[in-house]
Chain A
Amino acid sequence: MARLAWIIGFTVLAAAAHADGYDDFSAGIDANNRGAASVAAMHFSRAITAGDLPASYLPAAFIGRARAELRQEQCADAVRDLDAAIARKPDFADAFSLRAEAHVCLGQDDAALADADAAVRVRPAAGYLFTRSRLNWNHGAFAEAHADAVAAATRDPGNAYFRLWSAVTAAAFERPHTVTSGGTATIGDWPGPLLDLFGGRLAPDAVWQAAANDKGRICEADFYIGAWNQSQGRPALAKNLYARAAATCPHNFIAFDAARRALKRLE
């Protein structure tokens, strides 16, 4: 009888442990989607150590925790988790791409570019091309950056930021003729005014007006108007705007890192 009770007890405990892994995994995804990074990391940690998560969910648990860690700027931890995700799923393009961001965060530019390259090799989708373009641009490899930016914008023409980035890389590559292909943005109203700036259809003042009262837009305007000024031969003005973007943009904004790099090149 005692033995039977022990067996039943063991079965119940095993079932409870199993439930924990899946429930925590699910809670981790929900927390990440809400932007609650520390809560997400806690749940994914429990899900990973529970030992009962279906094998096909484990890479997602590691990348989920890495995403939460990156939001908290725990970049080395994120790299470790992305190593684990890639070890379990060697063709995990998202993990390569996110590890590239984690390497950027650690100042490891060569490793970042290698990972961005790996993501594109696995899947040459627009998002991964865009990431590689940004990293090449950071590196000062403007021709490569422009080629990837154009490829990303061609593969996903509805994404206004890809077209905007094409304009920025074209300007850096001294190919202002391609800048005129900006067009009207399709993601709400923003960043349409920035595209119109690069397309010569709008002056900077009008862009500032469109960005007013929105911190995110103002920080993006600082960087992109800076890049536009640089392409127009006004490096001093560009430098001031880059400095402001680097000081005010949230660290997970593309404009933050891009502004820092552009500033460094002008100093």
Chain B
Amino acid sequence: MMRIAALAFFAFATAAAAAPPCTPVESLTLEPDWYGGMTVPVTVGGKQLSLLVDTGGVRSMLTGSAVADLNLAPRPIRNERVTLYGGLQVTHWVQVEGAGMPDQFWIMPDARVPYALSGTLAPDFLSRYDVGFDFAHARMRLYASGSCPAENAIPLKPDRSRHLIVTVMLDGKPIDAMLDTGASRSDFSLETARALFGASLRERPAERADCERGLATHAFHQISIGGVTIADPDIVLVPDAIGGRPPGSPRLVLGMGVLRRLHLTVFYGRNRIAVARATP
């Protein structure tokens, strides 16, 4: 018996030693959507869908059209009050069978993502892993949680929704920012920007393709995230009345316009993030 135990231990130890450290359990191809958000192909109910990778979301979602196409049965959300950006209520969810996917999705209106997409992958799923975002090589790699060294990683601010919140330096001023792969452009509260930069803020009307009103821009010179400096970040100044950010959430949201220039590894289990420059 002792011998069997010893053999078993030896076999386990050998296997552990042979397994290469920090090997992705999944490596997914990233494809950009219309606005530069990053999507991954997934198979749900035997159908191929494109889901937006949304580190700024809370729960993974499917659009109403996708739910209808997959012939899934919506169930009412009973114990939670779920409000999307803009005040819209989410009222139903669906159960999905399939390995390597969230097993539950909330149902969102079609227009919440570009029409080519079927929904989002949010931190409820992503945080099961350590996640590498290699935008320059179009890869998202999922690692077993805790299997990769987190050297040079900086701490994330604690957040109930597992959002990626770090302190950044924007033109020399420290401010908390959320890194949101689900946002195409970066948004900054106009009121906070005025308070932080005072007279040096030179507001110009934003030339936004979708013609939203009341938005402004300012030519920020640089932003430093985890020691990596990005020049000339494109940041839109959004009045709080339009932005609708929940109280206590960061006033600066960094979207793909900035994040595309970085390589990110998120150690969800250790609440840390490693930031490097995107190097093709």
Interface residues of A (CB under 8 A from B): 15, 18-19, 21-23, 26, 29-30, 32-36, 52, 54-57, 59-60, 63, 67, 92-94, 97, 123-128, 155-159, 186, 216
Q: Knowing A22-B136, A54-B137, A125-B115 touch, does A155 contact B35 (C-beta < 8 A)?
A: no
Q: Please name 8 pairs of A and B residues whose Cβ atoms are closer than 8 Å in the assembled complex, sorted by A.
A: A19-B279, A22-B280, A26-B261, A32-B209, A33-B185, A123-B115, A156-B65, A159-B110
Residue of B nearest to A92 (CB): B116
Candidates A29, A35, A67, A94; contact of B114 at CB < 8 Å: A94
Candidates B110, B208, B280; contact of A52 at CB < 8 Å: B280
Candidates B110, B116, B136, B137; contact of A156 at CB < 8 Å: B110
Q: Knowing A30-B257, A34-B207, A159-B111 touch, does A125 contact B278 (C-beta < 8 A)?
A: no
Residue of B nearest to A36 (CB): B207
Residue of A nearest to B184 (CB): A33
Q: Knowing A125-B63, A125-B115 touch, does A30 contact B110 (C-beta < 8 A)?
A: no
Contact of B124 with A by CB under 8 A: no
Contacts of A126 in B (CB 8 A): 65, 110-111, 115
Contact of B31 with A by CB under 8 A: yes
Q: How far is the CA of A13 from the CA of B30 in the complex (A)?
A: 26
Nearest-CB distance from A5 to chain B (Å)?
23
Q: How far is the CA of A225 from the CA of B211 in the complex (A)?
A: 23
Q: How far is the CA of A54 from the CA of B278 in the complex (A)?
A: 14
Contacts of A155 in B (CB 8 A): 64-65, 68, 110
Contacts of B33 in A (CB 8 A): 60
Contact of B88 with A by CB under 8 A: yes
Q: How far is the CA of A216 from the CA of B213 in the complex (A)?
A: 12
Candidates A15, A54, A94, A158; contact of B88 at CB < 8 Å: A158
Contact of B69 with A by CB under 8 A: yes
Contact of B239 with A by CB under 8 A: no
Extra inter-chain contacts (4) besides given A125-B115, A155-B65, A156-B65, CB under 8 Å? A52-B280, A56-B31, A57-B138, A155-B68
Nearest-CB distance from B255 to chain A (Å)?
9
Q: Max chain A CB contacts within 10 Å: which of B116, B207, B279? A: B116
Q: Are A56 and B65 in contact (CB under 8 A)?
A: no
Candidates B63, B115, B185, B280; contact of A18 at CB < 8 Å: B280
Q: Are A56 and B29 in contact (CB under 8 A)?
A: yes
Residue of A nearest to B255 (CB): A33
Contacts of A59 in B (CB 8 A): 31
Q: Are A123 and B138 in contact (CB under 8 A)?
A: no
Candidates B31, B63, B88, B109; contact of A60 at CB < 8 Å: B31
Q: Are B68 and A33 in contact (CB under 8 A)?
A: no
User: How many residue pairs at the A-B interface have CB separations less than 8 Å?
Assistant: 102
Contacts of B137 in A (CB 8 A): 54
Nearest-CB distance from A156 to chain B (Å)?
4
Interface size class of B (residues with CB under 8 A): 35 or more
Q: How far is the CA of A60 from the CA of B111 in the complex (A)?
A: 20
Q: How far is the CA of A97 from the CA of B137 in the complex (A)?
A: 28
Majority secondary structure, A binding face? helix
Q: Are A30 and B109 in contact (CB under 8 A)?
A: no
Chain A proximity mask over B123-166: 1 for CB below 8 Å, otherwise 0: 00000000000001110000000000000000000000000000
Q: How far is the CA of A55 from the CA of B138 in the complex (A)?
A: 9
Q: Knowing A35-B208, A158-B88 touch, does A125 contact B31 (C-beta < 8 A)?
A: no
Contact of B260 with A by CB under 8 A: yes
Contacts of B116 in A (CB 8 A): 92-94, 123, 125
Q: Max chain B CB contacts within 10 Å: which of A22, A60, A63, A67? A: A22
Residue of B nearest to A95 (CB): B116
B residues 149-199 in Cβ contact with A at 8 Å: 184-185
The 9 residue pairs across chains A and B that have the minimum distance between CB atoms = A127-B115, A54-B138, A29-B36, A35-B209, A156-B110, A125-B115, A60-B32, A18-B280, A22-B280
Chain A proximity mask over B83-118: 1 for CB below 8 Å, otherwise 0: 000001000000000000000000001110011100
Nearest-CB distance from B219 to chain A (Å)?
13
Nearest-CB distance from B162 to chain A (Å)?
26
Residue of B nearest to A250 (CB): B211
Contacts of A97 in B (CB 8 A): 115
Q: Are A124 and B32 in contact (CB under 8 A)?
A: no
Candidates B111, B115, B261, B279; contact of A158 at CB < 8 Å: B111
Q: Are B63 and A30 in contact (CB under 8 A)?
A: no
Contacts of B115 in A (CB 8 A): 93-94, 97, 123, 125-128
